[in-house]
Amino acid sequence: MNTPAMTTSAVPSGRWERLAKLGSLAGSVAGGMLAEGARQFARGQRPRLGDLLLTPSNVRRVADQLARMRGAAMKLGQLLSMDAGDLLPPELAEIFARLRAEATAMPMSQVVAVLGANWGEGWDRHFQRFSFTPVAAASIGQVHLAQTRDGQDLAIKIQYPGVRRSIDSDVDNVATLLRISGLLPGSLNIEPLLREAKSQLHAEADYLREAEYLRRYGALLADAGEFLLPEVHAELTTGSVLAMSRVDGVPVESLSDAPQAKRDHVARLLMALLLRELFEFRRIQTDPNFANYRYDSATGRLILLDFGATRPYPEVMVEAYRRLMTAAIAFDRPAMSVAAMAIGYFQAGILDHQREAVLKLFALACEPLRHAGAHDFGRSDLAARIRDAAMALSADRDLWHTPPADAIFLHRKIGGLYLLAARLKAMVNLRELGQAVGLVPAVGPQRAAGPIAA
């Protein structure tokens, strides 16, 4: 497994230490504003507040500090970047895009302290080898490779210290910082997203919960030989350390130059899995991060990693989505509206043009399901049309209604898979996959998809 070079920095674990980091960030941003203002005045220009806030140096300051803090501070940025989309200023989107890509690891001393707290003194007795250089680092934890005394190769995910107890205060403090700095539009109501971010982060920080979902998915996919999942090593797994069998593969996005048939096969597997998750399992691994998928070139199997963001979906919502997708495939606008109302998309007082804008987004998202034959994600302009429709909807910010959390996370996953399929330049017959789960009639006329009128 090739490991990207990582910088290391200690994770601030105390509540006041983390608050101080945010305070110093606010001061640093303010200092940057003053310096930029002075430069513009010296050039005879009258600076605007937004120009002073969103300078490249301030963008870099915010992204770097949140990356060093990790935990909820970093995860909130990742959630906002995926879910708020075109509602955010481009400069803020850049901050959060950097947070998705950056990897800052704990130093060895902190790793040793965390393992000692979870496994006790002399924890190294379990291993022949333990690599202190992580192979991956993310917002909540980092992954190390090890080999047990009896020769088992393991991947061990270690949670950053203090993450769990700092979740609520981190989310509140970062949101406040973004508000008072002007980096978030004042009209954007992110309160529901903040509540959901806290709930989701508490769930993701429970590694015993993730281990249970990993076991459950292993059982659910026992009949699907195309997938490979790690197995939980129960003896070494705790609430803050997840020990799993090591599974190696290449990053899934590295297949972009593979033969067309292989790229199509991988994208088809992931989209078929999502439909099974929603309509059969009624639970979805909602994190579309490309790093959660790898490809085993020797066996041709797709490796599934990281089940911390798995969410159960209530049957009533699953059936409402079934009705919504079926209606979108059939161009039945009234039935789409009824299903969207059942999911929770429309609040009292929504205007007709806003309702139509939401329905247009649904129709666009379901376009590949209507397409007769394989949809070419590499050549399609679907992503651009969805973006334009989302921007039109976001223009009415004063009346924008945040949908239920389950819906946000489902759309996040769908959008992530579409993006991956486009990256792979894959062609997938989604109509055929829809037939397998009862969304599309097995027989009957097929209507070629095209742009949907608002």
Which positions are catalytic?
287
* 256: CB partners within 8 A, 6+ apart: 263, 423, 424, 425
Helices (H) then strands (E): counts for the chain: 17, 15
What number of other Cβ atoms are within 10 A of residue 356's Cβ? 15
25 vs 20: CA distance, rounded Å = 8
Measured in degrees and rounded to the nearest 5, phi and psi for residue 272 equal: -65, -40
Distance from the Cα of residue 64 to its chain's centroid = 20
Closest alpha carbon to 139 in 200, 186, 93: 200
Query: Is the backbone of residue 444 left (phi > 0), alpha (psi -120 to 50) or beta?
Result: left
436 vs 439: CA distance, rounded Å = 8
In sequence order, what E strands does 6-105 have? 7-8, 104-105
* 439: CB partners within 8 A, 6+ apart: 275, 279, 322, 325, 326, 329, 369
**Single-letter amino acid code for the residue at 167:** I
50 vs 399: CA distance, rounded Å = 24
β-bridge pairing 427-428 and 375-376 = antiparallel
User: Hunting for tokens 């599309």 — which residue is that?
Assistant: 440
